[in-house]
Every structure is written in C-alpha cells, then in structure tokens.
Amino acid sequence: MKEKVLITGGAGFIGSHLCDILISKNLWGWQTGKRYVY
C-alpha cells in the first residue's frame, strides 16, 4: 500500500510540475516572440 501511495504521489507531483513548466515555457515563448524554443 505504501508503494502505491508513493507512486501516485510522485506522479501527481511530477504532473503538476510538468504543467507549471509547460505554462511558464508558453508564457516565455509569447513574451519573447517565440525566439526561445525548448
């Protein structure tokens, strides 16, 4: 049971960070005229 909690917690943690990263990258792209593409 602990392993399942760790896996789901880690996936949720990583997922939320990926969303934040994508949003920040999109914002940076719009602000800089999409010169910086990662």
- Structure confidence at residue 5 (pLDDT): 73
**Distances, alpha carbon 34 to alpha carbons 9, 10, 19, 22, in Å:** 33, 31, 19, 14
**Average pLDDT of the residues in 3-24:** 77
Residue ranges per structural domain of the chain: 1-38
Confidence band, pLDDT 50/70/90 cuts, at residue 1: low
Percent of the chain with pLDDT over 70: 68
User: What is the DSSP code string of 15-33?
Assistant: HHHHHHHHHHHHHHHHHTT
- Structure confidence at residue 37 (pLDDT): 52
pTM of the model: 0.40
Tens of pLDDT along 14-33? 778 887 877 777 776 666 55
Q: Which of 22, 14, 20 is nearest to 30 (CA)?
A: 22
